[in-house]
Amino acid sequence: MKKKDGNEQNEERDWVEDTGAQRKTLYSNVILIESDDRMRINEIINRRPTMSNRIAGQEKWFVLDPWNGMMEVIFKEIDDGELEDYTYKKVEEIDVKTMGFSAALSAVSEMLTKGNMVLIITNLLKTDDTLNTAIMGWATSDEILNNDSTVLLFVANRYIFPTEVWPKLSIITPPKSTIAERSTQLAEQERKFAENPKQPIDELTDEEMGSLVMLTAGLNLDQIEAAAIESIQLKFKLDIDLIASIKRKRLGSDATVEIIQQPKFGFEAVGGYESLKERIKNDIIVPLKNPEMAEHFGIRPPRGIILYGPPGTGKTLLVKSMAKELDMSVLLFHIENVLGKYVGESEKSMRRVFDIADAMAPCILFVDEFDKFGKRSTTETTGSNVDKQIFSMLLEKLGDEDREWFFAAATNIIESIDPAMRRTGRIDSVAPIPYPDEAARKQIFEIHTKVKRKIPMADDIDSDEIAKKTYMWAGSDIEQLVIRTANYVMQDSIKKKDKKRLVKMEDFRKILDTFMIPVEENVKLQNQMKEHAKKFANDKRLLDVFEAEAQKVIAIGKTDKAMSMLKDRK
């Protein structure tokens, strides 16, 4: 467990035990629990002995809901070792609909000072001065403290309250859902429907269930139950694609990040760079996929990687492919998405990014154009407190030993990134990526015509010739060559009403001549990168990989055959 801001705690183990511990510390009479999941409320009620300082039966529990009023929790005695059963009984004296929520708060305040009780407040969508004042009063009340009474605020996040209220509260952040909880919840829903002879369902294999458990990371237990029921009712099974779609609707509307659910292709969609892919597999993927073996050998989980190289060399593709290999989702965000116009707005958005990443862990948090975060010296000279705060927040989070998500970043300008961001402990590897060599360009061409797209091509296609004629092209340039050529042939097919028209080598040759690739500038950029790699790469093995790859690109380009082709192109 890590403490933050004096009283704030970030849940890493049993959140109910931590809530009970917070109650016993007497720091505050009010504990804010960052969850609007009704199953978390049920869990804390079911585990009442963990929360209580009193003998069972001596402490009363109530739930206050602005929409449904005040209810007392009536516990039923059952056999030892079982969770307590309970029902709700409406408190007639506090009728929220009749008296209004403000009056109800006054009545509740009186109850808290007269007897030992736990009050759960839920379904708060917003606050006002009356509620904020009541909470501040409860948090510091000696009468409530002497009665050993506690208020539990279940809210989606602390931001519905003014920041000045936070220091008066104890704050607990339960996990959205753990792997074990998701596995149990999904299996339970499948079992319930499988037992119904009138509605048989297709049960998942163990491997499919494992994938679904990872896919539903970031959803709370209530949302998982609802998604599972909807899927079974519509598809008669736990349909992975449908549940992924439901998850996107639940989480994908957040403006700060783009959620990319388990990308479709792994390293098979990354042309070339075999040595780099092998290095990433060994240093990152193997430890993350084998945590027990890594722990046995004293290897901590990999923390992050910075990929840098010229535009279009596949840095983003490589991160997405890593996610596929790891069976993880990718959270993509740009710094523009978190910068706000008003004081505190940027910090709030940045914290929201971290909250989503923490909720969806294990996942990959990916920052494109990482150089835009700049250096501490740059932010200080600009005088932008927002920039400095965002920088500091990211720096602190990357150094947080308890974070469970992997960080990946891409940049074209490695020298603009602060050394503190690049140090080991925050980032494991700084990996330079050169332009693809001839063999890689051939693979990239074939991937974009046969794997990622199924282009109807004639038998005369010569991928070796394409690879030679695309010297110093980036992977994105080769992809664009395929797209332009396919579009050209499609238009010709429509014009001639020939649906059987195939893409021929002469089509690629014709479209090749339309490209204006600055080969000489790219060679200079590659040489500059070589010097930067020597300065900024933090792993000699990755530096050796880069230099070998870069040398192949330049060496092949200097052959008489390749240079003559370039002259012919001009």
pLDDT, one tens digit per residue, over 134-167 is 999 999 999 999 988 999 999 988 878 888 899 9
The enclosing H or E element of 63 equals strand 60-65
Q: How high is the pLDDT of residue 565? A: 45
Closest CA to 427 of 386, 391, 389, 394: 394
CA distance 448 to 270: 10
Residue spans of alpha helices (H) in 436-570: 438-446, 463-469, 475-496, 505-512, 519-536, 540-557, 560-569
- SS3 state at 2: strand
Residue spans of alpha helices (H) in 10-128: 15-25, 38-46, 48-51, 96-99, 101-114
Q: Are strands 60-65 and 69-76 parallel, antiparallel or unpaired?
A: antiparallel
Q: How high is the pLDDT of residue 31? A: 95
Sign of CA dihedral 506, 510, 511, 515: positive
Q: What's 402's DSSP letter?
A: T
Closest CA to 357 of 410, 314, 307, 304: 304
- Give me the residue label for tokens 């012919």: 568
CA distance 279 to 429: 10
Positions of the chain with pLDDT under 50: 1-12, 55, 81, 378-386, 559-567, 569-570
Q: How high is the pLDDT of residue 159? A: 78
Q: How high is the pLDDT of residue 569? A: 46
Q: How high is the pLDDT of residue 12? A: 47
Q: How high is the pLDDT of residue 461? A: 95
Q: How high is the pLDDT of residue 41? A: 94
